[in-house]
């Protein structure tokens, strides 16, 4: 079970000569596209469409530092486990362990400093946010509900962005956070099917191991229906207009495509559908929110 990289693709095991490229591959930087749009969407709604450049910049910086720290922590916790998994056996070669520890320390400190620069509440909550996203890495050792803890780790983003703008919490970001939990848990269940044999052999806890692949895919469908409902309720609680709701059929189509692909149990197709569908969902959400607030 991964953190925010949601499994490396088999074709990405070759190690390039560039140190920065290896580091970005280690933390799967390209997958920042999943959580960041929900944080930015919450920020735009909280600011009624016009967040200041300072707040916007600090929220993005916090997101990058937090995600980097979370990925590095997960890599360190699973360092030996990843080497036993044929799909991730080369992962530890990307960056030396001592380098990962140093980068983890720097990114964690950077997150807290950036959060402190926003407002008092974000500073006070920053250590709690780090604890939540780090805690996920241990959950697969004692609970099969690890997919939901991953969702909780990503749900911190929109809630934190909302607090960054207005300094307190409301119902709307909590609804959006619940939707993110269901969304992430759903697609993590789909992705976990490719490690079913390894996880069962190693005694790693996962709902896919507990329920089997077929039932896990059905649960993922239910979770994504709940996510879609949460997006509708978020629109109501945030008082968004018809433009926002006009984007929802596109979200539904992307989720349908992902599940139709997953039902074929073709790992290569699942990899492609995973990135394309979920990147599309988050991008459509952000675009719908921005256009609705700006028009």
Can you tell me the mean pLDDT for 84-88? 56
For 193, counting Cβ atoms within 10 Å of its Cβ (0-12 exposed, 13-18 middle, 19+ buried), the class is: buried
Q: Domains in the chain, please, with CATH?
A: 38-294 (1.10.357.140)
Can you tell me the mean pLDDT for 68-77? 87
Residue 4 has pLDDT above 60, yes or no: no
Instruction: Report how far residue 227's alpha carbon sits from residue 185's, in angstroms, rounded to the nearest whole number.
Output: 10
pTM to 2 decimal places: 0.84
Instruction: Report how far residue 27's alpha carbon sits from residue 10's, in angstroms, rounded to the nearest whole number.
Output: 16
Residue spans of alpha helices (H) in 167-247: 171-192, 196-202, 207-211, 213-237, 242-246
**pLDDT band at 286; cut points 50, 70, 90:** very high
Strand, helix or coil at 288? helix
**Burial annotation 5-22 (CB, 10 A radius, 16+ → b, else e):** bbbbeeeeeeeeeeeeee
Q: What percent of the chain has pLDDT over 90?
A: 55
Given this model, what pLDDT does residue 99 score? Answer: 81
* Chain centroid offset of residue 110 CA: 20
pLDDT tens figures, 188-246? 898 888 778 877 877 777 898 889 888 999 999 999 999 999 999 999 999 999 999 99
User: How is residue 9 written in tokens?
Assistant: 């693709």
pLDDT tens figures, 108-138? 999 999 999 999 999 999 999 999 999 998 8
Can you tell me the mean pLDDT for 21-49? 76
Residue 24 has pLDDT above 60, yes or no: no
Instruction: Report how far residue 137's alpha carbon sits from residue 219's, in angstroms, rounded to the nearest whole number.
Output: 22
């Amino acid at each position: 079970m991964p953190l925010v990289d949601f499994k490396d693709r088999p074709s990405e095991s070759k190690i390039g000569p560039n140190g920065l490229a290896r580091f970005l591959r280690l933390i799967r930087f390209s997958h920042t596209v999943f959580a960041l749009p929900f944080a930015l969407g919450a920020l735009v709604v909280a600011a009624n469409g016009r967040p200041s450049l300072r707040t916007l910049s600090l929220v993005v910086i916090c997101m990058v530092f937090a995600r980097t720290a979370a990925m590095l922590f997960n890599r360190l916790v699973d360092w030996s486990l990843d080497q036993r998994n044929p799909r991730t056996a080369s992962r530890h070669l990307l960056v030396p362990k001592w380098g990962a520890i140093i980068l983890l320390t720097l990114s964690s400190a950077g997150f807290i400093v950036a959060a402190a620069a926003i407002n008092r509440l974000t500073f006070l909550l920053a250590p709690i946010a780090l604890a939540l996203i780090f805690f996920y890495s241990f959950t697969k050792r004692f609970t099969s509900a690890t997919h939901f803890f991953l969702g909780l780790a990503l749900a911190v983003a929109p809630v934190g962005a909302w607090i960054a703008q207005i300094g307190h919490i409301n119902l709307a970001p909590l609804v959006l956070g619940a939707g993110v939990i269901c969304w992430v848990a759903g697609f993590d269940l789909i992705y976990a099917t490719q490690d079913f044999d390894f996880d069962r052999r190693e005694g790693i806890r996962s709902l896919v191991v507990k329920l089997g692949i077929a039932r896990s895919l059905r649960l993922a469908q239910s979770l994504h229906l709940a996510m879609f409902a949460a997006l509708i309720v978020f629109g109501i609680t945030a008082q968004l207009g018809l433009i926002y709701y006009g984007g929802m059929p596109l979200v539904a189509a992307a989720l349908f495509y992902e599940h139709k692909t997953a039902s074929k149990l073709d790992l290569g197709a699942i990899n492609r559908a995973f990135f394309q569908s979920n990147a599309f969902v988050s991008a459509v959400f952000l675009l719908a929110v921005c256009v609705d607030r700006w028009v």
